[in-house]
Amino acid sequence: MAAAQGAFSLREVMAAFQSCVTEQREVLLGPYLRGWRGLVRFLNGLGAIFSFISKDAVTKIQIMESYCGGEKKEEYRTMQSMVRYELNGGLVDLEQRSAHPNSGCRTVLRLHRALHWLQLFLEGLRTAQQDASTSTICTDSYNASLAAYHPWIVRKAATLAFCTLPSRDAFLEVMNVGGPEEAVEMLGDALPHIRDVYGITEELYAQHRLLDLP
């Protein structure tokens, strides 16, 4: 059943990530960005303290949506075509941000790093004890992934915001897929798709030496 309008449903977000990967193992940008849109909707429901995070995510999603709906939209159908097009056209700043500060490659890289956080966080949530602290799971996942790319002030603000997260059970409830047990089962089904999208993107970026774009 579709979620009520505006409400978050983990099922819909995960379906978006699931439909990202083509038979040729390419990653479709349309569903990838839809997945991110859904996650941001969820984040907005967690309170104003998270708005600095959702604003940054929305800015990046919008940059990508404008490429995907723009005159070169065919080149932005998949991550693979985007990388090919931007690298062949010299449209990526490789050393420092200058002529192409918002290239698709650079913008997706930021979302890709955040997807690693999401993967670790959802794995943590799924496997933790019932009385585990969501805040601790979130902080640990952040420290093992995104934190390495953020300055001290962002790390501090993010860690403070994590302290306001509800208990694990309450968090699983707001995922809107039924009770905590169903949410855990759903996470078990969904995580392989997130891992797959993450793995394909990581390999693509590594192949083209794009993992450290400024």
Ligand X SMILES: CCCCCCCC/C=C\CCCCCCCC(=O)N[C@@H](COP(=O)(O)O)[C@H](O)/C=C/CCCCCCCCCCCCC
In the set 27, 83, 146, 197, which binds ligand X (CB under 6 A)? 146
CB 45 within 8 A of CB 173: no
Of 48-56, 62-70, 85-93, 204-212, which part binds ligand X (CB under 6 A)?
48-56
Q: Output the smallest distance, CB 67 to ligand X, in A.
A: 16
In the set 12, 26, 56, 123, which binds ligand X (CB under 6 A)? 56
Of 20-28, 52-60, 87-95, 196-204, which part binds ligand X (CB under 6 A)?
52-60
Question: Considering the rule CB under 6 A, would residue 200 count as an interface residue with ligand X?
Answer: no
Question: Considering the rule CB under 6 A, would residue 105 count as an interface residue with ligand X?
Answer: no
Q: Tell me the two tokens of residue 26.
A: 């390419």
Q: Output the smallest distance, CB 23 to ligand X, in A.
A: 26
Q: Which is nearer to ligand X, 30 or 124 (CB)?
A: 124
Q: Which is nearer to ligand X, 94 or 154 (CB)?
A: 154
Question: Considering the rule CB under 6 A, would residue 195 count as an interface residue with ligand X?
Answer: no
* Phi, psi dihedral angles at 126 (to 5 degrees): -65, -40
CB 83 within 8 A of CB 208: yes
HEC secondary structure over the chain: CCCCCCCCCHHHHHHHHHCCECCCCCEEHHHHHHHHHHHHHHHHCCCHHHHHHHHHHHHHHHHHHHHHCCCCHHHHCEHHHHHHHHHHCCCCCCCCCCCCCCCHHHHHHHHHHHHHHHHHHHHHHHHCCCCCCHHHHHHHHHHCCHHHHCCHHHHHHHHHHHCCCCCHHHHHHHCCCCCHHHHHHHHHHHHHHHHHHHHHHHHHHHHCCCCCCC
CB 48 within 8 A of CB 99: no
Question: Considering the rule CB under 6 A, would residue 172 count as an interface residue with ligand X?
Answer: no
Q: Which is nearer to ligand X, 73 or 156 (CB)?
A: 156
Site string for ligand X, 85-104 (x = CB under 6 A): --------------------
Question: Considering the rule CB under 6 A, would residue 182 count as an interface residue with ligand X?
Answer: no
Of 70-78, 82-90, 111-119, 199-207, which part binds ligand X (CB under 6 A)?
111-119
Interface residues toward ligand X, by CB under 6 A: 10, 13, 39-40, 42-43, 52-53, 56-57, 110, 113-114, 117, 138, 142, 146, 149-150, 154, 158, 165, 175
